[in-house]
């Protein structure tokens, strides 16, 4: 009924009993209303309560005294007759609504046993009425809006919220409605074996069906997680599209939650649309036909459109170990309620995903394309996740969508570069001793984490190897662990730099936080300690500043080994000590001192390119290229060594960097030149230095 139109009740005049339709221009006097009320109170005919609580005569009495519409041919008479009919139809409709509401209230009241005091009765009635609210509205209010760019403003339901709204009593009511409808139409009822049976009366096994919807009936089917089929998501979709009581036909067809998402397909538009389960099997459309011929064509289209509300992914790393990252459809709504773009690197973008009640996390998006295949990074991270190291980042989850890998990590407050530049650009003099102890602990931990990668023992050998890795020729790399062969793999990170070392604040206010190595996009494991980059997957130096000199030398420029990471880690260590002695300003000044032309990275076409790398290329007597540590770097280390703030630990640390890490090597150990220390030896040296100088 339109809200701006108020139906006018029939009035009984003061002089006769003939009802008349009042004009809008005539104000009914008090006697008119009083006479109608008195007549109703005397019980003339059947009576019922009107919209404002006044008893009105039944329609059959009003119909008996209703005046004959005037027979006119002019337009005004037609309009008058139309208004009369609409007034009557709207008044009748209003009466029917009131009767239905009265009966509904009575039905709810009958459900309440032993009401007790009036206040308690009122409370129980209010609760009962609350349960009768629109389920669809309650589901909508429980849903959450996604802020992911590809799912922006689309709503989704968490499984726990879905179960909270659709309690067993709600499911039972929906099943009862379905049974009543099926009894009325003479359709088959569903029994506990999931097959049709003859039309029945009141179903005695409704509790069984409720448990089946929840997936609690053993042997009912083979869901992946519990071995049981459930229909709760199916029911939610049906309620969302106002078809909740149609749940049983879906149970008849054994179309369960595990079959979602459904997809619509047709052959070149020449055949009707067909529905297919997630595994590709065709779905019988009988469960949609009961909706009626008029809505059949669009019913399954609505179902497919709304199914994504209940299909927001959840992430389980144990499932990823068996099945790999989830491969999501572009239609999947991602359950991220906040979204901030953080940084963009050479091979991917990093987003910050804040959450109200849970820790924030970072999401790294990497396109599936060359030169770096994100599948390699995922494989490395997945394996390292099982053998966690304190100073290596842990992968929380991963998924594939929109032709890109999405890797989920704990959110770091900053990387090491940001820590130096923004978090603590000028270390406090009063905290100098604490900062040095923290620096020593973190540097030792980073070397230990790198050693964990450089010598990795694995039983699941194949999952870490890239397709271009060499076959296992040296059986000494294999040892027996019971019935399993444990194989030693040689790993390389390939891109150690401050931006790839993350800082996580400590939960302890007195703590300084912890550093973790991240970004394994350049990492690789193989069965040989040295790999020719010309035979592997398009390797190239990702950071011009921290790359080792062997990348620019021939014929060894293509040889990549674990010592590659030792050079880059030595550069980071030197800058770390620089920060401790002089803050960010001194780190920046050191970079300016190293800045010069760099044709080695880009070739002759970029001779004007300048970089702040730690080595320079010159020519020897035979006019062959020769690498050496930049003079500015060696002079700067001497400057730090003589700094008044330096101590025995700092001087010994500088010696370790100069003599065992920043060493120019050819890339091959058998040529007799000095070689860099292994990451394991570096970690052991730093541990001994801490005990000797700082932990007395």
| Digit-coded pLDDT (tens) for 467-477 | 333 333 343 33
Residues 364-391, mean pLDDT to the nearest whole number: 79
Whether 308 and 331 have beta carbons less than 8 Å apart is answered as yes
Q: Let me know whether 376 and 427 are in one domain.
A: no
Looking at the whole model, is its pTM more than 0.95?
no
Q: Is the pLDDT of residue 42 over 60?
A: no
Round the CA-based radius of gyration of the chain to a whole number and report it: 39
Q: Let me know whether 233 and 360 are in one domain.
A: no
Mean pLDDT comparison of 177-186, 423-432, 556-565, highest-scoring range = 423-432
SS3 content of the chain, % helix, strand, coil (to 5): 45, 15, 40
Picking from 390, 411, 432, the residue at the C-terminal end of a domain is: 411
Which range of residues forms the domain containing residue 395?
Answer: 333-411
Q: Is the pLDDT of residue 688 over 90?
A: yes
Report if residue 423 sits inside a domain.
Answer: yes
pLDDT category at 619 given cuts 50, 70, 90 is: confident
Report if residue 527 sits inside a domain.
Answer: yes
pLDDT tens for 272-315 read 678 889 988 888 877 877 776 666 667 778 899 999 999 999 88
Q: Let me know whether 390 and 305 are in one domain.
A: no
Q: Let me know whether 538 and 682 are in one domain.
A: yes
Whether 89 and 97 have beta carbons less than 8 Å apart is answered as no
Number of structural domains in the chain: 4
Q: Let me know whether 616 and 561 are in one domain.
A: yes
Report if residue 116 sits inside a domain.
Answer: no
pLDDT category at 672 given cuts 50, 70, 90 is: low
Whether 333 and 308 have beta carbons less than 8 Å apart is answered as yes
Whether 633 and 662 have beta carbons less than 8 Å apart is answered as yes
Report if residue 168 sits inside a domain.
Answer: yes
| DSSP-assigned states of every residue in 241-267 | TT-GGGHHHHHHTT--GGGPSPEEE-S
Alpha helices in 595-678 (DSSP H): 631-641, 648-660
Q: Let me know whether 421 and 523 are in one domain.
A: yes
Q: Let me know whether 370 and 261 are in one domain.
A: no
Q: Among candidates 421, 416, 496, which has minimal Cα distance to 682?
A: 496
First to last CA, the chain: 88
pLDDT tens for 156-187 read 999 999 999 999 988 998 888 887 776 665 55
pLDDT tens for 317-326 read 778 878 889 9
Picking from 411, 439, 461, the residue at the C-terminal end of a domain is: 411
Q: Let me know whether 231 and 187 are in one domain.
A: yes
Q: Let me know whether 521 and 610 are in one domain.
A: yes
Q: Is the pLDDT of residue 668 over 90?
A: no
Q: Is the pLDDT of residue 41 over 70?
A: no
Cis peptide before 668 (omega within 30 of 0): no
Question: What pLDDT is recorded for position 173?
Answer: 87
Provide the token pair at 539: 């390797």
Q: Let me know whether 21 and 105 are in one domain.
A: yes
Q: Among candidates 585, 501, 493, 592, which has minimal Cα distance to 545?
A: 592
Report if residue 321 sits inside a domain.
Answer: no
In terms of pLDDT, which residue wins out, 564 or 94? 564
Mean pLDDT comparison of 242-256, 262-276, 680-694, highest-scoring range = 680-694
In this structure, what CATH number is given to the domain that contains residue 653?
Answer: 1.10.510.10
Report if residue 465 sits inside a domain.
Answer: no
Q: Is 313 exposed, middle or buried (0-12, 13-18, 19+ CB in 10 A)?
A: middle
Q: Let me know whether 400 and 284 are in one domain.
A: no
In this structure, what CATH number is given to the domain that contains residue 382?
Answer: 3.30.200.20
**3-class SS of residue 640:** helix
Alpha helices in 46-167 (DSSP H): 59-64, 75-111, 118-131, 135-142, 159-165
Alpha helices in 132-167 (DSSP H): 135-142, 159-165
- Report the chain's mean pLDDT, rounded to a whole number: 73
Report if residue 122 sits inside a domain.
Answer: no
Q: Among candidates 403, 351, 402, 401, which has minimal Cα distance to 373?
A: 403
Report if residue 102 sits inside a domain.
Answer: yes
The residues near 584 (Cβ < 8 Å, ≥ 6 apart) are 420, 421, 425, 426
Q: Let me know whether 435 and 396 are in one domain.
A: no
Q: Identify how many contiguous H helices and E strands the chain contains and give both numbers.
A: 20, 29
């Amino acid at each position: 009924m339109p809200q701006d139109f108020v139906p006018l009740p029939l009035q009984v005049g003061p002089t006769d009993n003939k009802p008349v339709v009042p004009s809008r221009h005539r104000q009914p006097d008090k006697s008119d209303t009083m006479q109608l009320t008195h007549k109703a109170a005397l019980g003339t005919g059947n009576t019922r309560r009107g919209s404002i609580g006044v008893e009105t005569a039944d329609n059959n009495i009003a119909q008996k005294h209703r005046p004959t519409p005037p027979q006119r041919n002019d337009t005004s008479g037609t309009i008058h007759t139309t208004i009369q009919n609409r007034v009557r139809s709207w008044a009748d409709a209003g009466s029917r609504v009131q009767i239905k509401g009265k009966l509904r209230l009575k039905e709810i009241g009958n459900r309440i046993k032993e009401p007790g005091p009036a206040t308690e009765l009122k409370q129980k009635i209010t609760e009962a009425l609350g349960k009768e609210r629109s389920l669809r509205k309650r589901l909508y209010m429980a849903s959450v809006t996604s802020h992911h760019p590809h799912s922006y403003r689309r709503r989704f339901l968490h499984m726990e919220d879905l179960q909270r709204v659709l309690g067993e009593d709600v499911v039972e009511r929906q099943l009862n409605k379905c049974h009543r409808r099926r009894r009325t139409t003479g359709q088959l009822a569903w029994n506990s074996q999931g097959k049709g049976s003859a039309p029945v009366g009141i179903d005695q096994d409704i509790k069984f069906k409720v448990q089946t919807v929840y997936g609690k009936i053993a042997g009912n089917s083979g869901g992946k997680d519990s071995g049981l089929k459930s229909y709760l998501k199916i029911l939610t979709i049906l309620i969302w599209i106002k078809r909740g009581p149609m749940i049983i036909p879906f149970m008849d067809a054994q179309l369960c939650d595990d079959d979602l998402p459904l997809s619509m397909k047709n052959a070149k538009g020449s055949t009707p649309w067909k529905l297919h389960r997630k595994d590709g099997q065709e779905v019988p459309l009988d469960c949609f036909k009961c909706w009626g011929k008029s809505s059949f064509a669009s019913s399954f289209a609505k179902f497919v459109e709304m199914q994504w509300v209940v299909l927001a992914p959840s992430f389980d790393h144990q499932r990823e170990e068996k099945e790999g990252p989830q491969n999501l459809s572009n239609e999947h709504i991602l359950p991220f309620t906040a979204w901030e773009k953080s940084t963009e690197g050479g091979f991917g973008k990093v987003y910050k995903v804040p959450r109200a009640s849970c820790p924030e996390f970072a999401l790294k998006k990497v396109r599936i394309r060359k030169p770096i295949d994100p599948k390699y990074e995922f494989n490395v991270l997945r394996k390292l996740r099982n053998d966690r190291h304190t100073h290596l980042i842990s992968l929380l989850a991963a998924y594939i969508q929109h032709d890109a890998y999405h890797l989920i990590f704990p959110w770091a407050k900053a990387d090491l570069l940001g820590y130096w530049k923004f978090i603590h650009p000028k270390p406090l003099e009063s905290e100098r001793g604490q900062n040095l102890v923290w620096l020593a602990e973190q540097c030792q931990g980073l070397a230990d984490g790198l050693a964990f990668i450089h010598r990795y023992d694995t039983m699941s050998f194949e999952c870490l190897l890239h397709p271009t890795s060499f076959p296992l020729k040296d059986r000494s790399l294999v040892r027996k662990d019971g019935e399993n062969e444990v194989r030693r793999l040689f790993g390389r990170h390939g891109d150690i730099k401050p931006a790839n070392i993350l800082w996580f604040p400590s939960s302890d206010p007195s703590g300084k936080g912890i550093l973790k190595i991240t970004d394994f996009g350049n990492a690789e494991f193989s069965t040989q300690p040295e790999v020719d980059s010309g035979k592997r997957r398009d390797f190239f130096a990702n950071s011009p500043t921290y790359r080792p000199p062997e990348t620019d030398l021939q014929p060894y420029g293509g040889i990549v080994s674990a010592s590659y990471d030792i050079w880059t880690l030595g550069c980071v260590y030197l800058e770390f000590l620089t920060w401790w002695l002089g803050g960010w300003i001194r780190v920046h000044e050191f970079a300016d001192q190293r800045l010069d032309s760099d044709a080695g990275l880009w070739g002759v076409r970029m001779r004007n390119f300048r970089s702040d790398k730690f080595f320079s290329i010159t020519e020897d007597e035979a006019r062959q290229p020769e690498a050496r540590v930049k003079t500015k770097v060696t002079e700067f280390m001497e400057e730090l060594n003589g700094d008044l703030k330096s101590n025995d630990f700092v001087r010994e640390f500088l010696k370790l960097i100069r003599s065992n890490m920043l060493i120019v090597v050819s890339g091959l150990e058998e040529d007799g030149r000095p070689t860099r220390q292994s990451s394991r030896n570096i970690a052991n040296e730093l541990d001994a230095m801490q005990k000797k100088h700082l932990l007395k």
